[in-house]
Structure 1
Amino acid sequence: MRLNTGGESLSRQEIRNARFPGLFNESLKELATDSFFRAQIGRNIRGGRSRTGMADVEYVLRFFALLNLEERHEKSLPIAMDRFMAENQHASLSDTGALNKRFLRALRACEAIWGEQAFQLYRPNLGWRFIGTPLVYDAQMLACDLLPEFVLEESIKHRNLVIQEMVKIGGEYRFSGLARAASPHYIKEFSRAIKEMLEEIATR
């Protein structure tokens, strides 16, 4: 398929949007309109959809691609996102609905647990800050997706303690560059630390 870009370079997500039209693609854009998602992610990527190359929609897709990354042993997240779009281009209404429900479950958990601090790291003398990459978003969303309801419920009850522990976790990790922070291995490692922290708090 040939894309008429009018002389402007398209982002990878804009290309996916053109290559893989369909119900799943539309659902990604709909999920990206969630008010909490827009408030938090918009502060991280800075700017509207037209200026960010559909970066908000790509954040939604990242969640789904990361879920299946380990099964396929993919090392490249962009390639995994391309593959997921291709495989789900013609997904049924029920399958698309199930994916949407899974995304929203994780998102609502992040909202209830971290609130305005969701998808941010704490930095001494600076407070809570977005770090300009999807790393914290990826890790918190994946952790919440993998946890059972009772752990999420206990985490919400003890959200102040969770936020305190998140400060410690953020201090223990050193983010040496965008490439490392964006690697699937590092995302999974960081997500595992958050998941184990929530499980520990829930069983106290």
Structure 2
Amino acid sequence: MSKNSVNLEDVLDNARQTVKTDSYPMSIGELASMYEAGEIILRPEYQRYFRWSSEQKSKLIESILIGLPLPSVFVAQDEKGNWEVVDGMQRLSTIFDFMGIVDDETKRNAYYTAFETLSDDLYYIEEFTGKGWADFGRRIQLDFRRTKIQLTILLRETDLDAKFELFQRLNSGGTSISGQELRNAIIAGKNPEALKWFESLAQYEPFVKVCGMSDRDLSVRMDVELVLRFIVFLSDEIQSLPKAKSVDVFLTKALRNILSDDSFDYAGHEVTFKKTFDAILAAWGENALRYKSSPGTGKFSISFFEAVALGVAQNIEKLPSKKVLKEKIDSVGSNRAFRTASGSGKNAQRRIPELVKLGAKYFKI
């Protein structure tokens, strides 16, 4: 059948069958009770909530208090019947935090900042500045708890991947989410233990010291993305990168392959990862992968990471002495091939394989 003769109605009907939804309003009080009972799941892996300012949070509470309608919240039903928030985590987290019921897991997150009182950026009710939940009388609290929020529920029959596709599409307003934040959510949904593993490597002290990433990099989970890049770019998967639509798409597909591979060698990859950053830290020191005019200058450089860290990793069983390794790291930036591959305007899908290949040759004894 030719492309032009495809029955569009059949295509659309089949696509609609992959998404099963229900929709109805629920009060904030009902949602709060479900959250306290563990029936609503807010995954800190998404990280979006933690980038809301106190002013943004206060304006949301003000909107509820004066009766402005709130955007819909989308949740996905898991195998146990619980609701995992797909879009609306910022809103629900802010509400639950203000009400004083946010759970301990959220509070333990490194990016969490308590939200207990309203800021001075209120427009309609300035008199509420500095007030917290306990300052509200019974009537105000009841009105707040009875406020309705429209929910759309992705039923458990919906394909898991469709959940995250919806999340990405809905994320058009507010603070945008990074590709790795979305991938963290994918890992959390499919294999929570794998997420803990990625997180543990991202917190490995020599790795943290060598990369010297900014708070902004960390807030969008660039650290976890680097762990994934380290693993994937050292595998045969990199051969398909030049034909990928983007690095983000490539990494997401590679991650799914890892999560579906029961024989994936987590222990072996962890050994290589730790040996690599142990070696770089011992030879060069902290901030070795910050690069502008020379190692240790400017901000963290993804191109320098690809050439140095992956180059060292490919030669991890036979590295030069610390002195020679430091000299090699110092001189990578002056290498013509590095400058060509990492130059501005270079397509990332082509740059990365070139730098990985360069690193393998450059750090070989």
The interval holding the TM-score normalised by the smaller chain is: 0.7 to 0.9
**Residue ranges of structure 1 left out of the alignment (5+ in a row):** none
Number of aligned residues: 191
Cα distance in 2 for residues equivalent to 1:71 and 1:116: 32
TM-score for both structures, normalised by structure 1: 0.74
How far apart are 1:99 and its partner, in Å?
2.2
Task: Look up the SS of the partner of 2:176 in the other structure.
Answer: coil
Q: Conserved in 2, the CA contact under 8 Å of 1:106 and 1:145?
A: yes
How far apart are 1:110 and its partner, in Å?
2.3
How far apart are 1:132 and its partner, in Å?
4.6
Runs ≥4 residues deviating over 4 A: 90-94
After TM superposition, the structure 1 = structure 2 runs for residues 117-132 of structure 1, keeping only pairs within 5 Å, are 118-121=288-291, 123=293, 128-132=296-300
Q: Conserved in 2, the CA contact under 8 Å of 1:36 and 1:111?
A: yes
The one of 213, 230, 246 equivalent to 1:44 is 213
Corresponding residue number in structure 1 for 2:120: none
Cα distance in 2 for residues equivalent to 1:90 and 1:185: 27
2:313 maps to 1:145: yes
| Greater CA drift, 15-24 or 166-175 | 166-175
Corresponding residue number in structure 2 for 1:188: 353
After TM superposition, the structure 1 = structure 2 runs for residues 1-204 of structure 1, keeping only pairs within 5 Å, are 2-6=86-90, 7-21=174-188, 22=191, 23-41=193-211, 43-47=212-216, 49=218, 52-68=219-235, 69-73=237-241, 74-75=243-244, 76-89=246-259, 95-116=265-286, 118-121=288-291, 123=293, 128-147=296-315, 149-150=317-318, 152=319, 154-169=320-335, 173=339, 175-177=342-344, 180=346, 183-199=348-364, 202=365
How far apart are 1:96 and its partner, in Å?
1.9
> Structure 2 counterpart of 1:192, which letter?
K
Cα distance in 1 for residues equivalent to 2:216 and 2:210: 12
How far apart are 1:33 and its partner, in Å?
0.8
Q: Conserved in 2, the CA contact under 8 Å of 1:32 and 1:57?
A: yes
**Higher RCO structure, 1 or 2 (CA under 8 Å, sep 6+):** 1
Cα distance in 2 for residues equivalent to 1:164 and 1:36: 18
Are residues 130 and 5 of structure 1, via their aligned partners in 2, closer, same or farther at CA, if it must alter by over 3 Å? farther
Cα distance in 1 for residues equivalent to 2:187 and 2:307: 26
Are residues 18 and 191 of structure 1, via their aligned partners in 2, closer, same or farther at CA, if it must alter by over 3 Å? closer
Q: Conserved in 2, the CA contact under 8 Å of 1:40 and 1:116?
A: yes
Task: Look up the SS of the partner of 2:88 in the other structure.
Answer: coil
Cα distance in 2 for residues equivalent to 1:32 and 1:117: 15
Identify, as 1 or 2, the structure richer in helix: 1
**Residue ranges of structure 2 left out of the alignment (5+ in a row):** 1-75, 77-85, 91-173
Identify, as 1 or 2, the structure richer in strand: 2
Q: 1:80-120 CA deviation, whole Å, 9 max, x = no partner? A: 21112212225559722222222222222322333235213
